[in-house]
Structure 1
Amino acid sequence: MFGPEIIEVATFRGHHEAGVNDRTTSQRGQNGMLLRDNIFGSIEEDAQRRDFTINSLYYSVADFTVRDYVGGMQDLKEGLIRLIGTPETRYREDPVRMLRAVRFAAKLNMRISPETAEPIPRLATLINDVPPARLFEESLKLLQAGYGFETYNLLREYNLFQPLFPTITRYFTENGDSAMERMIAQVLKNTDTRIHNDMRVNPAFLFAAMFWYPLLETAQRITQESGLAYYDAFALAANDVLDEGCRTLAIPKRITTLVRDIWQLQLRMSRRQGKRAWKLMEHPKFRAAFDLLSLRAEVERNQELQRLAQRWGEFQVSAPPEQKDMLTGLDDEPAPRRRHRRPRKRAPRREGTA
């Protein structure tokens, strides 16, 4: 603790010695991934163990200088993302470094050096070895940090989008102009705009938009193969799409529940008459569902959807004030509820005791 701040302190890491097989300090998988890493060393060795040169700069409080052991300052000035060591070896140690290279390049408007970029498309499938829970956190850093659209383009360029979202990648087109691809591009641009304007975002809306067209394709296939009513096929398709998505990204249930709500509301929003319409507007995720409807109308250039979205927009304007207060904005996340604990019952004091 340093006043009101918390400063994290890490021990310097050292090199892995060849031939040493002590499972308590260092362990690698068959694919070269580091499973355990408790080798400690000097600051010079620690600098070599960092991932990128721009991340290997040390500030000394002894003489107030920046110490650079790997040429990070020069790369910083030139706007280069350069991996320390042999790129293929470093990527095999931790495949997430490929995602970090892309994320830094998009966020900092920098270029990935040629030797750092070359192995990425070849080794992109190593992402499949990363635990899904870690990939979920990485996906939020990639797509919900204010530079999602630029990051998305780089992920596709380096074949890194497929191991993260295999369900979506199957529906990519050669020209990149399908409704799904336009939807992904627009929702990421909208998300970036909201973040830059200090507005809140919710990953549930992002995933609902990104997986919408794979959901429709799956629902149509189930309807044709099983003969089920479309509403039932739609529910089964939602299960299939989310289950497959969760196998790659461990999307928490609190998010998938909201995704389902937004999807189900798309079917109900065609009914906008009488009490049903007012009841629908009371749903906690109505505004997110309306925003997805508007987004669909925009990317599909569908006049019927555009009229429906316009009528729902006018309907909201005509709603009484108490009804409007119940609507939440695009991607808005409700504030966490505070739990009030019941006061403990104190045992009666005994005579003669303190």
Structure 2
Amino acid sequence: MQVHNFNAGPSMLPNEVLYKASKALIDFDGLGMSILEISHRSEAFLQVMAEARQLVRELLQLDEDFEVLFLHGGASTQFMQVPYNLLDTGETAGYLDTGVWANRALKEARLFGNVEVIASSADRNYCYIPKSFTVPKHLKYLHITTNNTIYGTQWHQIPEVEVPLVADMSSDIFSRQLDFNKFALIYAGAQKNMGPAGVTLVVVRKSILGKVSRLIPTMLDYRVHIQHESIYNTPPVFAVYISMLTLRWLKEQGGIAAIEKRNEEKAALLYREIDENPLFKGTADPADRSRMNVCFVMNDPSLEKEFLEFCKKEDIVGIKGHRLVGGFRASIYNAMPIESVEYLVESMRYFARTHG
């Protein structure tokens, strides 16, 4: 049975990656042991970690000041770990409040220093990206969330600022070309575009670390993880391995430039149907629509339950909207083939023909 998996995360992975991972569950690299059984300090896994880190560096085209880390705790831990390492008592960080995750990040930062909300789209339930704002030069850093999974908005123009720029890229990392060297720190949970839940990517400039006066617990100090090349303690071995396979797959597809074109095609196809189909309408401002998470509702809310049941029968899964906004959400990350988007579009057309 073919299922069209539009889940927001954990999300679908490339079939090639799943096939290779399934073989490694039985016998990894001819060792006669599962990837789940090998030592995290064995030469076999050290090579996996080294390749994963190098692929990140290569795909993002990072300069030499960056370090690449694979850590525990998800992006939610980074809400706290970023200010713990970067924001001293009495200093001020700026945050752009564009959704639930951005809001949670700024609340955590207030435990460590001052937070100035530079701009917010909360006034319209986060359906747009703020455009006009001034970033004070005294800020220790500016934090943005580049893509908002719940509301379906995305920063298409990254702010040009004179302070260090920190970004939560959990839901659009590796999906589009950017000048990643303009950021001071990037973090991302793996379970959207990079791998399974359980590992978090952090890309950080070494030059911004070691400037706070507080003592930092060992496990929360980026410098410790840099020194130990992401193996200070036992890492999530399987999650790192699948992330490495996914990054390999991305490189084989032609890298970020090639996948960006596919993502643009998929998003354009689905948004066109939403705009033209009389039963549906988008919820995010058109200029700020996400290419990763397409959010929409029905003009007649009484049909929503029936449409969900119809999708279930058609093996379309994961399109129910987040509980905070309702409606529908189709997540079309890197691994989503355009054929599944075409199938969803055809299903929407059929439903409209039979309910017109």
Measured against the shorter chain, the TM-score band is under 0.3
Higher helix share: 1
Give the TM-score normalised by structure 1.
Answer: 0.25
Give the TM-score normalised by structure 2.
Answer: 0.25
Higher alpha-carbon Rg: 1
The structure, 1 or 2, with the larger RCO (C-alpha pairs under 8 Å, 6+ apart) is 2
